[in-house]
Amino acid sequence: MVAGRGIRMRVAVAGGGIAGLACALGLARAGHEIVVVERDPAGALDDPRGAFSWERAGVPQFQQPHVLVSLACRELRVHAPDVYACLLEAGATEILGSHPDAVADPDLRALCVRRPVLEWALRRALADEESVTVRHGDTVRNLAYDDGSAPGVNVWGLITDAGLVTGDVVVDALGRTSPMPGLLADLARAYGAVPGEVLVPRFTGRAAYEVARGIPCGMAYYSRYYRLRPANPARPGHHFVAAAADFGYASGVLFWAEKEAGEQLVGLVISVPAGDQELKALRDEDFYDRVVAATPALARVIGPGLADPVTPVRPMGGLRASWRRPVTDDGRLTARNVFTVGDALCHTNPAYGWGASLALSQAFTLPAVLAGHDGDVVAAQGAYARRTGPLVEDRFGSGVALDRGIERIWAGEEVDVLAYTMEPDLFRMRGLSAAAQAAPLAHQRQGRWAGCLDPAAAIDADEPFRTDAAAAARVVRGRPRPESERPPARDDLLALVPS
């Protein structure tokens, strides 16, 4: 089937998470016909609160804290402003992230809202699109393809439990465990890749295989949501983090979440080294509460008498950073007509909050590249790879480097996060965060990098800024911290484990 600019294409989308739903929305609004195949059952759309009880076995992080950082906000505001408005109406807390003493940057913002509400808003918007069908409760099993006579297979659909879903274009939005990138690599090996170099791969051979398989992030999470009591004075300002505690061997970050019936919710994530058997005790809610109460920065906001838990403690582990580009070692596409979006393409440590930004920006790039290539889907695939590649490479590189840096710090190694030449990633994340407490410019620039608006190079290449920021951070970090402000040392914390 030939498809072209203005011609309605049929698109088969595998997976209805953030990436699949956003793809369907963008493509439908560009005039295409979409079928989304999603394994999990449909949930009711009448009330955002109902989304918390949706059955989402396919998304283990469904109930884990999610913050939409700046790029995700910009993507929604540009491509789906109705979804952004719907989230605000549903109670999402919008953080305007510019420092009060800096020139306001309209892109520097975050939307603090729980993931079920985000999916609910995307699904609700899709429900109004007549050209979208979401087949819930159906499982994708394979790609439908012709091996053809020329090199490079032609993919023309999805084989699912309920039958065949054909498409001029097929989208892999199956999330971080998607088998499709591996399947596509096998097809390219068996039948040849699509002729013509698309991009130079960053990793090849064994390294590409390891990166595709995923590099352990080295952390496990224990999260819990709280509702602030009405008399609690804590209110969102220009930070999407309500409080943070650096234990030295673990960390705690309290995120703003949405408002529910006018009451402010917050979500706490305590991150610990993966495999730390003693800290697994954080699954115990009594222990979790005691850790909060014993940690001054957290206790000030959600300590006894200030907030009430609204969820159990939810653990999450087994996380890996992966990057699975659908190109061969010599830079050619593995198959025709397939686009890989969201976590299926790249997943980084969720502690950095980049996943939804990448997923949304890739999803909304898809209709643009299809429109720009006049029916030549292979050319659109190349354009998509070139447009989405740099951000993915930037975040994957930073994410993995940060994971290793934090691992070293938690293992007790002395690491100077202000030594920006030696530790560029820790400097951007931790050094600039300290500088931001004294220097509004550092706040703005760190926010743009952490929010996926600026690449690492924007900071790494600016030597005068880094020097000034390091000096500001040195002053902040040199301030004496009273004993009463320190989070518990590891032994003191473990002494809190209920017997």
Ligand X SMILES: Cc1cc2nc3c(=O)[nH]c(=O)nc-3n(C[C@H](O)[C@H](O)[C@H](O)COP(=O)(O)OP(=O)(O)OC[C@H]3O[C@@H](n4cnc5c(N)ncnc54)[C@H](O)[C@@H]3O)c2cc1C
Which positions lie near ligand X, rule CB under 6 A?
Answer: 14-20, 37-40, 58-59, 61, 64-67, 72, 139-140, 173-175, 221, 316, 342-344, 350, 353-357, 359
**By C-beta, is 59 or 194 nearer to ligand X?**
59
**By C-beta, is 152 or 447 nearer to ligand X?**
447
Task: Report in angstroms how near the CB of residue 141 gets to ligand X at its nearest.
Answer: 7
**By C-beta, is 253 or 327 nearer to ligand X?**
253
Cα angle 257, 303, 283 (rounded to 5 degrees) comes to: 75
Spatial neighbors of 125 by CB under 8 A, at least 6 apart, are: 25, 80, 82, 83, 86
Give the Cβ contact number of residue 297 at 10 Å: 18
Task: Report in angstroms how near the CB of residue 442 gets to ligand X at its nearest.
Answer: 23
The amino acid occupying position 493 is L
Task: Report in angstroms how near the CB of residue 474 gets to ligand X at its nearest.
Answer: 30
Task: Report in angstroms how near the CB of residue 16 gets to ligand X at its nearest.
Answer: 5
Task: Report in angstroms how near the CB of residue 285 gets to ligand X at its nearest.
Answer: 19
**By C-beta, is 186 or 485 nearer to ligand X?**
186
DSSP 197: B
Relative to beta strand 169-172, strand 33-38 is: unpaired
Task: Report in angstroms how near the CB of residue 459 gets to ligand X at its nearest.
Answer: 20
**By C-beta, is 119 or 423 nearer to ligand X?**
119
**By C-beta, is 98 or 349 nearer to ligand X?**
349
Spatial neighbors of 187 by CB under 8 A, at least 6 apart, are: 143, 145, 147, 153, 334, 335
Query: What would the DSSP string read from start to end of 316-348?
Result: E---EEEE--SB-TTSBBSEESEEE-GGGTEE-
| Three-state SS at 256 | strand
Query: What would the DSSP string read from start to end of 144-191?
Result: EEE--SSSSEEEEEEEETTEEEE-SEEEE---TT-SHHHHHHHHHHHH
DSSP 485: G
Spatial neighbors of 10 by CB under 8 A, at least 6 apart, are: 1, 32, 33, 34, 35, 166, 167, 168, 169
Spatial neighbors of 218 by CB under 8 A, at least 6 apart, are: 273, 274, 403, 404, 406, 407
**By C-beta, is 343 or 454 nearer to ligand X?**
343
Phi, then psi, of 70 in degrees rounded to 5: -55, -45
**By C-beta, is 357 or 446 nearer to ligand X?**
357
**By C-beta, is 173 or 453 nearer to ligand X?**
173
Cα angle 430, 432, 433 (rounded to 5 degrees) comes to: 60
Cα angle 62, 67, 70 (rounded to 5 degrees) comes to: 140
Task: Report in angstroms how near the CB of residue 406 gets to ligand X at its nearest.
Answer: 16
Task: Report in angstroms how near the CB of residue 18 gets to ligand X at its nearest.
Answer: 4
Task: Report in angstroms how near the CB of residue 15 gets to ligand X at its nearest.
Answer: 3
The CA distance from 373 to 383, in Å, is 9
Task: Report in angstroms how near the CB of residue 353 gets to ligand X at its nearest.
Answer: 4
The CA distance from 356 to 175, in Å, is 11
**By C-beta, is 41 or 248 nearer to ligand X?**
41
